[in-house]
Amino acid sequence: MSFDWRLFGRASAHPLRWLTIVVFGVTCLAGMGVTGLVHAQMIVGHRGASEDAPENTVAAFQLAWEQQADGIEGDFYLASDSEIVCIHDKTTRRTTAQDVNVESSTLAELRELDAGNWKGAKWNGERIPTFADVMATVPEGRTFVIELKSDVRIVEPLKRELDRIDHSKIKLLIIAFDEANVKACKERMPDVEVHWLTSFKQVEKGGSWSPTPEQIADTVRRSGADGVGMKGMVDLIDQPFIDRLLAGGCSTFHVWTIDSPDEAKYYANLGAVGITTNRPAVIRDALKAIP
């Protein structure tokens, strides 16, 4: 079973529709033999189960599935030979023993690096995976969240990857800070869901924060995005903030990176369709406890 983030986003603004969807969903799952509390929020393993395993490695993604994550999120760069590789930073310095520029290196060169040892000896030998390596871990019915770190040049190679791999039984979500990437993905892959990403900055000390809900909604509309992923800030993102976002026409949002059970519950109650976390098992248990 896969989840449509947009469905939950639209329903969250209409309590009666939301109740109908939840009751219908629970009834269907019960008929399939699935019991227990069903949480509406997608729980996404941030770079895998990265609190426990080396981020953006096959081991971290597999562990996220073991921790019953609904989805995984990986970061992807375009290597110099047009291969798509999974790593967060522009260089390998933080997560390997060498300082190598990712986009200036070939896949073969990057494969020589140990991407696990920094997290502990038990992870020795973990390599920087390819896009296909990560996608191969995704079980049927789960979600693969693809964050694009390179510029718009990565979009065509990504489309080629998706065209040659059967992904009909999983859910895809592309996310990017770069508005040009969002636009290009929606133009080239209109059937794939895409969210624009944003963090927040204070215009001046003690002043207002940017972007505003209205600015977010404008960017989502202008880029053709299906929703927005926002950096979690409980002092900023409150019900009035979400009301303004909805009024601007953006009805679907997810938040990152949420490792506090209390914060996860807070965003769930605000209507977030997804919660990205380094601790999938902990956050899953927290959301199960919501009455």
Residue from 105, 98, 103 nearest 75 by CA: 103
Task: For residue 186, give its domain range.
Answer: 5-288
What pLDDT, on the 0 to 100 scale, is given for residue 4? 52
What pLDDT, on the 0 to 100 scale, is given for residue 27? 34
| pLDDT (average), residues 40-47 | 95
What pLDDT, on the 0 to 100 scale, is given for residue 2? 38
| pLDDT (average), residues 272-280 | 99
> Looking at per-residue confidence, does 5 or 53 come out higher?
53
pLDDT at 22 over 80: no
| pLDDT-based confidence at residue 31 (cuts at 50, 70, 90) | very low
| pLDDT-based confidence at residue 263 (cuts at 50, 70, 90) | very high
Percent of the chain residues topping a pLDDT of 70? 87
| pLDDT-based confidence at residue 267 (cuts at 50, 70, 90) | very high
**Amino acid at residue number 132:** A
| pLDDT-based confidence at residue 29 (cuts at 50, 70, 90) | very low
Q: What is the pLDDT of residues 203-238, one digit of tens each?
A: 888 889 999 999 999 999 999 999 999 999 999 999
What pLDDT, on the 0 to 100 scale, is given for residue 239? 98
What pLDDT, on the 0 to 100 scale, is given for residue 205? 86
Residue from 140, 219, 225, 135 nearest 174 by CA: 225
Percent of the chain residues topping a pLDDT of 90? 82
Q: Which tokens is 65 given?
A: 């599935």
pLDDT at 190 over 50: yes
Q: What angle (nearest 5°) sits at the alpha carbon of residue 12, between those of residues 183 and 229?
A: 35
> Looking at per-residue confidence, does 284 or 291 come out higher?
284
Task: Give the bridge partners for 277, in sequence order.
Answer: 45
- Report the number of distinct structural domains present in the chain: 1
| pLDDT-based confidence at residue 20 (cuts at 50, 70, 90) | very low
| pLDDT (average), residues 107-136 | 98
| pLDDT (average), residues 240-260 | 98
What pLDDT, on the 0 to 100 scale, is given for residue 48? 99
Residue 203's domain is classified under what CATH number?
A: 3.20.20.190
Buried b (16+ CB within 10 A) or exposed e, 247-266: ebebbbbbbbbbbebebbbb
Q: Which long-range contacts (CB under 8 A, 24 or more apart) does 11-19 make?
A: 12/251, 12/271, 12/273, 13/246, 13/251, 13/271
Q: Which tokens is 186 given?
A: 């929606």
pLDDT at 271 over 80: yes
Q: Which tokens is 190 given?
A: 């209109």
Most confident range, picked from 7-16, 161-170, 187-196? 187-196
